[in-house]
Amino acid sequence: MAVSGSREVDIEAPPADVLAVIADLEGLPAWSSIHKKVSVRERDDAGRPLVAEMTVAVMGITDEQVLEFAWTDTSVSWKVVESTQQKSQTARYDLTETDRGTHLTFEITLDPKIPVPGFIVKRGTKTVLETATDGLRQQVVG
């Protein structure tokens, strides 16, 4: 059963600075406790990741995954192309410039391969959403 979640946060930094932190995938384990290992396989002409391998652990479930990324000046999205624990995953950051910096919206939908108890799914989704927004904000603004 697929699970979806979204969260919004304001970051006192310009969108380009926020996207730069998101694009530094190798730096994810330093500020995202769920990311254990990250390596970029392929980059676009601007140096942004197009394909990356990650080891992610949430609520005691470890997943080895390969993600494909798509970038614009105000967003980044990705999808899982290989995963040991998920049938599918899509996620997206949308950034809107504001007077004080950036309004960020994060959305994710994932479909585990095996049945996972509802309370674990809810707690895991909350962890992912908080890391992807609050953790990112803390990394951007220091």
CATH number of the CATH domain containing 75: 3.30.530.20
pLDDT at position 123 is: 87
| More confident: 92 or 116 | 92
What is the extent of the structural domain holding 30?
3-141
As a whole-number percent, the residues of the chain with pLDDT over 90 amount to 85
> How many separate domains does the chain show?
1
Provide mean pLDDT across the span 70-92: 96
Tens of pLDDT along 27-63?
999 999 999 999 999 999 999 999 999 999 988 889 9
For 56-120, the DSSP string reads EEETTEEEEEEEEEEE-SSEEEEEEEEESSEEEEEEEEEEEEETTEEEEEEEEEEEESS---HHH
| 122: confidence class by pLDDT, cuts 50, 70, 90 | confident
